[in-house]
């Protein structure tokens, strides 16, 4: 997969940032509210103007068409957008398979959630572009605690935590090479948080995706970074610097 390089990237309100995140590496950023964590992630995703350059495997962002960049470098914002009435309308499904959520259900309404070797659905691990087979999507949703009928749900019935988990699934089905996560588990209870953390970790390892994760949770940062051999940074006074050990 791809490494992510920030070459004197300067989002609004922040000093220029030099940082390289290797393929398959996990890097956390923290800092008080308003420090600029979201601004940094949005600048990397090319959603806000910035100075400097961002590179993916030595390819400058300035030479990559914006739609391609935003597919390869996927952002999960803290507040996700929902533009259609039904959940299923937010997921691209391969035209070779039925698009109806009912086609995913067994008579008992359960999903075949058996993971492939390594714990991540082959259909997701091998996804190209934004197309995902219905079976792979069902398995992915099952790993986040949803049954097959969730695609028929009205978005208005979703809790904050359900929206957050579904937004994570929506991000991963596009097969991004880099994950930018803004408080990806902040609204989840311990059980759902553990499921989401494991899914992200499986994706990182199996897709060799560079992950930049903004988190307010010091326990989460220490626990996951230690397990993955990752690094932790903090934004203080507009500058990104290594986080001091607890």
**For 203-236, how does the pLDDT look when each residue is reduced to its tens digit (9 = 90+)?**
999 999 999 999 999 999 999 999 999 999 999 9
Residue with token string 């259609």: 84
Angstrom distance (rounded) from CA 102 to CA 41: 36
- Residues making up the chain, counted from first to last: 246
Contact yes or no for 111/142 (Cβ under 8 A): yes
Question: How many Å from the N-terminal Cα to the C-terminal Cα in the chain?
Answer: 32
Least confident range from 72-76, 97-101, 165-169, 239-243: namely 97-101
What pLDDT shows up at residue 111? 33
Distances (CA, A) of 185 to 43, 54, 70, 107: 21, 26, 22, 32
**pLDDT per residue as tens digits for the range 69-81:** 999 999 999 998 9
Output 63 or 126, whichever has higher pLDDT: 63
- Is it the case that residue 148 has pLDDT exceeding 50? yes
What pLDDT shows up at residue 246? 62
Grade residue 138 by pLDDT with cuts at 50, 70 and 90: confident
Grade residue 93 by pLDDT with cuts at 50, 70 and 90: low
**Among residues 94, 87, 101, 86, which one has the least CA distance to residue 148?**
101
Grade residue 137 by pLDDT with cuts at 50, 70 and 90: confident
Indicate the burial class of 205 (C-beta count within 10 angstroms; 0-12, 13-18, 19 or more): middle
Q: Please list the alpha-helical segments (H only) found in 144-180.
A: 160-172
Rounded to the nearest integer, the mean pLDDT of the chain is 85
Grade residue 7 by pLDDT with cuts at 50, 70 and 90: very high
Domain segments of the chain as ranges: 4-242
**pLDDT per residue as tens digits for the range 25-48:** 999 999 999 999 999 999 999 999
**What is the chain's alpha carbon radius of gyration, rounded to the nearest angstrom?**
18
Helix axes 134-143 and 190-207, enclosed angle (nearest 10): 130
Specify the DSSP class assigned to residue 128: B
Q: What is the CATH number of domain 4-242?
A: 3.40.50.300
Angstrom distance (rounded) from CA 246 to CA 155: 40
Q: Going by C-beta distance under 8 Å and a sequence separation of 6 or more, which residues neighbour residue 231?
A: 25, 26, 27, 28, 225, 242
Give the dihedral sign, CA 69/73/79/83. positive
- Is it the case that residue 134 has pLDDT exceeding 80? no
**pLDDT per residue as tens digits for the range 154-208:** 999 999 999 999 999 999 988 999 999 999 999 999 999 999 999 999 999 999 9
Q: Does the global pTM surpass 0.75?
A: yes
């Amino acid at each position: 997969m791809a490494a992510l390089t920030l070459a004197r990237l300067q989002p609004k309100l922040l000093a220029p940032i030099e940082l390289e995140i290797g393929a398959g590496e996990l890097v956390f950023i923290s800092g008080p509210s308003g420090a600029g964590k979201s601004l940094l992630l949005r600048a990397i995703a090319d959603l806000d103007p910035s100075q400097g350059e961002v590179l993916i495997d030595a390819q400058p962002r300035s030479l990559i068409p914006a739609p391609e960049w935003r597919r390869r470098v996927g952002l999960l914002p803290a507040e996700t957008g929902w533009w259609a009435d039904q959940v299923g309308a937010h997921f691209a499904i391969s035209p070779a398979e039925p698009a109806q959520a009912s086609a995913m259900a067994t008579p008992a309404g359960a999903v075949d959630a058996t993971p492939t070797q390594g714990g991540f659905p082959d259909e997701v691990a091998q996804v190209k572009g934004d197309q995902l087979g219905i079976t792979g999507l069902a398995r992915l949703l099952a790993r986040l605690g949803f049954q097959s009928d969730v695609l028929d749900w009205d978005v208005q019935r979703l809790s904050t935590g359900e929206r957050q988990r579904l937004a994570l699934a929506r991000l991963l089905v596009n097969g991004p090479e880099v994950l930018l996560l803004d408080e990806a588990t902040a609204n989840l209870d311990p059980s759902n948080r553990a499921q989401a953390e494991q899914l992200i970790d499986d994706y990182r390892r199996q897709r060799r995706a560079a992950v930049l994760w903004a988190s307010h949770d010091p326990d989460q940062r220490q626990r996951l970074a230690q397990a993955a051999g990752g690094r932790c940074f903090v934004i203080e006074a507009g500058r990104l610097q290594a986080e001091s050990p607890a």
